[in-house]
Amino acid sequence: MRCFQPIPLLVLLACALALTGSATALAANPPAAPASFAGWSQSGTPQTIAPASDTRWPGLWPIFQEYGFSSGEVQQYSKDGKTLSVALYRMKDSSGAYGLYSFLRAPGMGRADITDHSCISDSRVLILDGITVVEITGPGLDFLKIRPDFKVLVDALGPAAVDSPYPDLFKRLPLRGFQEGTDRYILGPAALQSAVPIAEGDWAGFANGAEAEIGQYRFNGENHTATLIVIDYPTPQVASKMLKEWAGKFNLDAQDADSKKPTIYASRKLTIVGVVSGEISATEAKALLSHLDSGEELTWNEPGFSLSDANINAVIASIIVGTGILCMFTLVAGLAFGGVRLVVKRILPGRIFDRGSAMNVLQLGLASKPINSDDFYGMAKAPSPLPASRES
């Protein structure tokens, strides 16, 4: 009977509680603006971010809500008579944080080495730290020269809370003609309408669990520009349904030259749907969609016969030959086993096989003569003749 060992279970339970406690602690104590960093000191009290706290918010507030904005604050810092502003946007999960970071990033901002996802320009810095987006602005400052100060700021914010990996839908964007820094991760119709004003409402189907990635492309120098929207749906059925709905809402694939509806070009690969919009030709749009990567492979049917497949006659002949080989092997093995046994019994009778001392024979007692193991296989010696009786 196996004994139950409670110690491993207790260890696993303790580890799970520790991990849960760490995650809960990070969620309960989100990163706050530090009192100082790299010689910069707080100037004034932090301002809580709300719809009425910034002139940008009337247009950005619906977009922040789509990305899962949780809380935020803006803190002013001063150093040597110069000031800068640090805004912390705390999101509910890593997908929303990455989406807001990509949405706030300007095309002219270059990559920075502050974190894995960070960008910088002369007067603005954007940092993705866990589920917190940090935006730094300051008039009259050359941020490229004080870049090391921002690394100190990230360290002062404490450990980053990340609940899951960041989205990787941007990997589906084709590289040819792509404009660096124009990709945006979209989670709702407000952000999509702000980035690509094709149509109003949730025409892309975010209510069905969709997520999207957009990118700008340029063809023939700077003459033709286009926007590619890569939309990932939960199932191929939902993706196919959305394509059918677009046929009545848009001039899909420019089928009607006189249509007043917005013209888009679309193509589906499994759950991925690519949509191209812009002043490009149908040939350029189809060429761009042909490089769309679904990232998955799906086989609907089993492979059929081809020229390299064997015909039915060869298959039957192989079966017959294989069966004959198996029968020959069985016959040879049987003869070898029986023949070796008989030869050994002839040469060494009663010494290896059927030894009288090792054989147990069930007797029914129907005859008066007892069974002798030496009688098997004719190995017993012929009985000696009885002596002739003398006549008196």
328 or 390, higher pLDDT: 328
| Nearby residues of 137 by Cβ (< 8 Å), 6 or more positions away | 84, 85, 87, 123, 124, 125
DSSP one-letter code for 361: -
What pairs with residue 185 in β-bridges?
213
pLDDT digits (tens, 9 = 90+) for 139-157: 888 898 899 999 999 999 9
The radius of gyration of the chain's CA atoms, rounded to the nearest angstrom, is 42
| 251-252 sheet: strands from edge to edge | 184-186, 211-219, 224-232, 272-278, 263-269, 251-252
Q: How is the chain split into domains, by residue range? A: 28-166, 168-294
pLDDT digits (tens, 9 = 90+) for 15-46: 444 444 444 444 446 678 899 999 999 998 99
221 or 104, higher pLDDT: 104
Using 50, 70 and 90 to split pLDDT, how confident is the model at 360?
Answer: low
Q: What is the pLDDT of residue 392?
A: 44
Residue 48 to residue 50: CA distance in whole angstroms: 6
Q: What is the pLDDT of residue 319?
A: 92
pLDDT at 383 over 60: no
Residue 178 to residue 174: CA distance in whole angstroms: 7
- Structure token digits, residue 318: 């192989």
Beta strands in 121-271 (DSSP E): 124-129, 132-137, 184-186, 211-219, 224-232, 251-252, 263-269
Sign of CA dihedral 182, 187, 192, 195: negative
pLDDT digits (tens, 9 = 90+) for 262-276: 999 999 998 999 999
225 or 201, higher pLDDT: 201
